[in-house]
Amino acid sequence: MPYVADGARYAAMPYRRAGRSGLKLPAVSLGLWHNFGDVNRIDTQRAVLRRAFDLGVTHFDLANNYGPPPGSAEQNFGRLFAEDLKPYRDEILVSTKAGYLMWDGPYGEWGSRKHLVSSVDASLRRMGLDHVDVFYHHRPDPDTPLDETMGALHSIVQQGKALYVGLSNYSAEQTREAAAALKSLGTPLLIHQPSYSMVNRWVEGGLLDVLDEVGAGSIAFSPLAQGLLTGRYLNGIPEDSRAAGDSPFLTSEGVAAQLDRVRALNEVAQGRGQTLAQMAIAWVLRGGRVTSALVGASSVRQIEDSVGAAANLDFSDDELALIEKLLA
């Protein structure tokens, strides 16, 4: 049967303005990094996308190299979008990125105008869209002048291929310089996408201050620390888990070193009536400085659990003090 979105999809999800822009993002957004490649079941992808939208998740985040293989996440999203979500295009935010290695040769990565314009064109073809809502430069380029990279982002907006632009993995100072370059061109920086979680707090060292200063929003990726801040590892390391495999992002040694802390945090979450994952997402969103938490999901159950975090985003002073103590 044709998909019909839940009529109550906007009833519970909070929406937050990105910086000083007019654009609002859902408190929880869905990232298609790990679970939407050709190695993943298309029926599961479809179920996750449908359920996410039914729960008020209006923002779907991609990159040109997401898969595996690279490009397949955009292709699969494009297929499912056309089959299920196209009637709701005006209610949906689609973002993608470029900057990491995507094709062979000297133009297949980094931040040249050649790479970025070629990348957005290819992404639009893969997804079957005429524009994306946000186009990001995925990482700073040490060899290309910043003015060229920001100029390319500006051109992409001027050409109607993106409505807004963002940055990812830029330092605080790089972000300040990039925002100034964009402002001089007339295309403001909408948003920054950094990694941020209870166990990875680098953004608190200046980046959030810069984003406040330049009027940009933020969307935190890996708020669950690659699964560490979920119930997955409370009883040790399962044989079929990411940490038991060859993931460069989460190792068995890293999990073991954090296990006592994770268990203690889980007790705090239980006291709040949340799962550990829900509390970790809520913690990233505490105080309103982060616009949205970007989560992945390999099942409907996972997206339901993550979205459930939005039901309780407030922390008492005692809870925050205890969490700080556990994280110290």
Q: What is the CA radius of gyration of the chain?
A: 19
User: Are the C-beta atoms of residues 48 and 81 closer than 8 Å to each other?
Assistant: no
Report CA 266 to chain centroid distance, whole Å.
23
Amino acid at 213: E
Residue 8 to residues 55, 182, 235, Cα–Cα distance (Å):
8, 38, 37
Note the pTM of the prediction, 2 decimals: 0.95
171 CB-contact burial (10 Å; exposed 0-12 / middle 13-18 / buried 19+): middle
Q: What is the pLDDT of residues 171-229, one digit of tens each?
A: 999 999 999 999 999 999 999 999 999 999 999 999 999 999 999 999 999 999 999 99
State the maximum Cα–Cα separation within the chain, in Å, rounded to a whole number.
Answer: 55
The predicted pLDDT at position 299 comes to: 97
Q: What is the pLDDT of residues 226-267, one digit of tens each?
A: 999 998 888 777 666 665 566 666 677 778 788 899 999 999
User: Are the C-beta atoms of residues 267 and 246 closer than 8 Å to each other?
Assistant: no
Q: What is the pLDDT of residues 292-325, one digit of tens each?
A: 999 999 999 999 999 999 999 999 999 999 999 9
Strands 24-26 and 217-221: unpaired
